[in-house]
Structure 1
Amino acid sequence: MTVTQTQTQTQTQVQTGTDTGTGTEADGETGEPRADVCATTGVSHPRPDGRDRYTISEVAAFTGLSAHTLRWYERIGLMPHIDRSHTGQRRFTNRDLDWLVFVGKLRLTGMPVADMVRYAELVRAGDHTFEERQELLRATREDVMRRIGELRSTLAVLDFKIDFYADARRASERF
């Protein structure tokens, strides 16, 4: 990416309030590299950054995922490190919520969990994995496009049958 592209991307992020996270910028609180998070334009978070500490039950309510699923995501490495309170309770951030939105999108594509975990590992590994991440997403996109084609074909069959029965019903009502 050129300097001009980087500046344009940064300006766009500032204007839209999005952050794609490159993995190289340090998180203000922990000093750890940021996770690669998809831009979630239009998604509003219940709390502002800096005061965005959510319990697992709050995240479950916000995302529709169960607490069991959230714990499992963390255990298998699909979630980045989740901070803990002084009593050991998980404390999720808006960034974690953004990541979960992205994971939800990956789930909708039918991407296998192993591939999602691999993607998460690549994100944590840093910028030098961009090409491998891109290839993983490209392969998933190709699969999604193939399935869309299959669904369009299936939809055409359904439309044909619906029209057939509508015509048959109208014809039988005439007699």
Structure 2
Amino acid sequence: MAVPLTLAAGSPDLLDALTARILADAHGSRPVVILDGGSGSGKTTLANRLVAALEAASGSAWQLVHDDFYPGWAGLSAAWTVIPGEILAAHDPGYRMWDWKAGAPGERRSLDPHRPILVEACGALTPASAALATTTIWIQADAAVRKQRALARDGDMFEPWWALWAVQEELHRLRHRPGHLADVRIVCEELSS
């Protein structure tokens, strides 16, 4: 395992450093990246930018999986099994997306087991998913900053569920210690748009 690296989210060379680390960690094999952090920490923003940088650097088309598999607001723990057991499965990888309007499972998204992949979600980094990844990333931000960002992003839809979600995130942190499983830790004060 490579030496853990800590970076500041505002660093101008963040994407370059992450891209180089991810491609080096893969040692020429299929890169599998797990990106975890609390709601509002900047995971989605970073994941979108990082996949664009990785595609430019590697010349490969990357698969990006966001957190659209949770079975509702009480379902953060689904990440603990869906990611290692379905999304990163060796044969027929994929997952059932959650239809938030219907409050039920939606379409299945199939994934290619040979193409590079980045999975970003709260609860994504566990011992089981880390064992299948070539690079693991934990992004952290102050709880008040995260809450402000998440509610600005999702507004009335998320506000009634914030406390329940926060309890699930804390359970994940206590149970799996994702910050300690991370190859790269990003300390985030602000991620500009």
In which range does the TM-score fall when normalised by the shorter chain? under 0.3
Q: Which has the higher strand share?
A: 2
TM-score w.r.t. the length of structure 2 is 0.25
Q: Which protein shows a greater Rg?
A: 1
Relative to its length, the structure with more helix (as a share) is 1
